[in-house]
């Protein structure tokens, strides 16, 4: 309590708020890291896994990311309190262990929190108009807009989790693969040549700067736009039960990337144009493949969802990671032949169920 009272001025200052301090420290660490090739390689590996099978990678990726975030926060706090090396390592280990165990014990609850944060930040990124309305005298309108986004984010990452991950996985995977390849190309070209190449970023540019410039061509609302395209791709694909709409769904998910490439072309950022085209190709192929995971799913009626919720309560929106669909046909055949294997329920899919 004494610490909070002493730091109350900093907590109300956006430039000195804990979140801002942590994010700036994280960005500084990525920017000043000497071995950028390692970051690029990790980005490439994680992106390849997401592109191959997004739903199965998600739990491990989410857990590892949160553990890394908790560890880095513990390190920042230990440095702020001038801890010795042993105490710093112990604090980092405790933070990592506690976070990992907590997430594995209550993964569905963390998905609600994560979806709420993502939805809030997405609406904040495209909420300039809402803040303007708030300034015109409609007080609280901006916060209402953020709240709507937070609720939608929680809904997507709980009830509609697996169908959306089938499209979000390739989108994220293609982005990470593209950023990793661009970073490696920069490092390689910078090692063999001193002349700048127009279709590559600045030589020896940190990975995080390349990823930032590639993602935020459309401004601070880029993440919300890409996420909306991923959700729209899922809806288009399963709009009707009879048709296999993978091509229209792929077009939906890459639409925002194509628009970003056009904007970058007008701005004269040709390396962003080339990187966006690579992102389109990787995302399109991975999405077309992963959408086969939804071939056996049909949309549920709203009444079915309401009836299940009234019967099972909040248990009906569990993510159901015990029984994920597989890209391996043999695995699916074994699961279907086992009478004790759980067929899919509303958990984790919401409006989708096995036909």
Find the range with the poorest average confidence among 20-29, 135-144, 165-174, 259-268: 20-29
Whether the pTM exceeds 0.85: the reply is no
Residues 247 and 313 grouped into a single domain? no
Residue 263 has what pLDDT? 94
Is residue 288 one of the residues assigned to a domain? yes
Stretch 324-350: mean pLDDT: 42
Residues 317 and 182 grouped into a single domain? no
- Residue ranges in the chain assigned as alpha helix (H): 2-6, 8-11, 18-32, 36-80, 85-105, 107-125, 128-135, 141-156, 161-192, 207-215, 222-237, 246-267, 270-290, 302-312, 329-337
> What DSSP state is assigned to residue 301?
P
Q: How confident is the model at residue 8 (pLDDT cuts 50, 70, 90)?
A: very low
pLDDT > 90 in the chain, percent: 29
Residues 235 and 172 grouped into a single domain? yes
Residues 170 and 316 grouped into a single domain? no
Residues 197 and 282 grouped into a single domain? yes
Summary mean pLDDT of the chain: 79
Residues 250 and 300 grouped into a single domain? no
Residues 203 and 280 grouped into a single domain? yes
Is residue 6 one of the residues assigned to a domain? no
Is residue 275 one of the residues assigned to a domain? yes
Residues 79 and 164 grouped into a single domain? yes
Is residue 73 one of the residues assigned to a domain? yes
Q: Does the pLDDT value for residue 339 go beyond 70? A: no
Residues 74 and 164 grouped into a single domain? yes
Is residue 144 one of the residues assigned to a domain? no
Residues 210 and 305 grouped into a single domain? no
Residue 298 has what pLDDT? 54
Q: Which residues form the domain of 305?
A: 296-321+343-355
φ, ψ of residue 297 in degrees (nearest 5): -110, 140
The rounded distance, in Å, linking the Cα atoms of 261 and 269 is 9
Q: Does the pLDDT value for residue 135 go beyond 60? A: yes
Report the number of distinct structural domains present in the chain.
Answer: 2
Is residue 23 one of the residues assigned to a domain? no
Residue 244 has what pLDDT? 65
Which has more pLDDT, 23 or 272?
272
Which has more pLDDT, 316 or 164?
164
Q: Does the pLDDT value for residue 335 go beyond 50? A: no
Cβ contacts of 188 within 8 Å, gap of 6 or more: none
The rounded distance, in Å, linking the Cα atoms of 143 and 268 is 37
Residues 195 and 312 grouped into a single domain? no
Is residue 207 one of the residues assigned to a domain? yes
The rounded distance, in Å, linking the Cα atoms of 180 and 185 is 9
- As a whole number of Å, the end-to-end CA separation of the chain is 56
299 forms beta bridges with 352
Q: Does the pLDDT value for residue 6 go beyond 50? A: no
Residues 207 and 270 grouped into a single domain? yes
Which has more pLDDT, 293 or 166?
166
Q: Does the pLDDT value for residue 325 go beyond 50? A: no
Is residue 225 one of the residues assigned to a domain? yes
The whole-angstrom distance between residue 338's C-alpha and the CA centroid of its chain comes to: 34
Q: Does the pLDDT value for residue 119 go beyond 80? A: yes
Which has more pLDDT, 282 or 307?
282
The rounded distance, in Å, linking the Cα atoms of 287 and 53 is 10
């Amino acid at each position: 309590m004494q610490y909070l009272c002493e730091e109350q001025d900093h907590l109300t200052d956006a430039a000195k708020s804990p979140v801002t301090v942590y994010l700036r420290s994280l960005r500084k660490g990525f920017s000043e890291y000497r071995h950028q090739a390692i970051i690029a390689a990790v980005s490439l590996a994680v992106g390849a896994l997401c592109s191959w099978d997004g739903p199965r990678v998600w739990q491990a990726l989410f857990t590892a990311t949160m553990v890394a975030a908790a560890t880095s926060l513990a390190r920042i706090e230990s440095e702020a309190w001038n801890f010795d090396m042993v105490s710093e390592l112990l604090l980092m280990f405790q933070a990592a262990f506690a976070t990992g165990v907590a997430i594995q014990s209550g993964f569905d609850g963390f998905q609600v929190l994560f979806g709420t944060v993502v939805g809030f930040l997405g609406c904040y990124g495209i909420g300039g108009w809402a803040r303007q309305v708030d300034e015109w005298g409609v007080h609280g309108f901006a916060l209402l807009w953020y709240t709507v986004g937070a609720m939608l984010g929680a809904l997507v990452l709980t009830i509609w989790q697996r169908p959306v991950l089938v499209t979000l996985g390739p989108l994220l995977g293609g982005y990470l693969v593209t950023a990793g390849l661009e970073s490696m190309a920069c490092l390689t070209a910078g090692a063999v040549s001193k002349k700048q190449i127009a279709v590559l970023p600045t030589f020896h540019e940190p990975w995080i700067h390349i990823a930032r410039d590639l993602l935020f061509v459309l401004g601070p609302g880029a993440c919300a736009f890409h996420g909306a395209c991923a959700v729209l791709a899922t809806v288009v694909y399963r709009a009707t039960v009879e048709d296999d709409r993978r091509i229209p769904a792929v077009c939906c998910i890459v639409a925002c990337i194509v628009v970003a490439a056009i904007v970058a072309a007008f701005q004269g950022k040709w390396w962003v144009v080339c990187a966006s085209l690579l992102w389109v190709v990787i995302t399109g192929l991975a999405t077309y493949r992963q959408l086969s995971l939804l071939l056996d799913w049909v949309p549920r009626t709203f009444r079915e969802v309401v009836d299940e919720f009234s019967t099972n309560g909040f248990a009906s929106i569990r993510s159901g990671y015990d029984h994920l669909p597989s890209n391996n046909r043999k695995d699916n055949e074994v699961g279907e032949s086992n009478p004790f294997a759980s067929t899919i329920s509303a958990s984790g899919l919401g409006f989708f169920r096995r036909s």
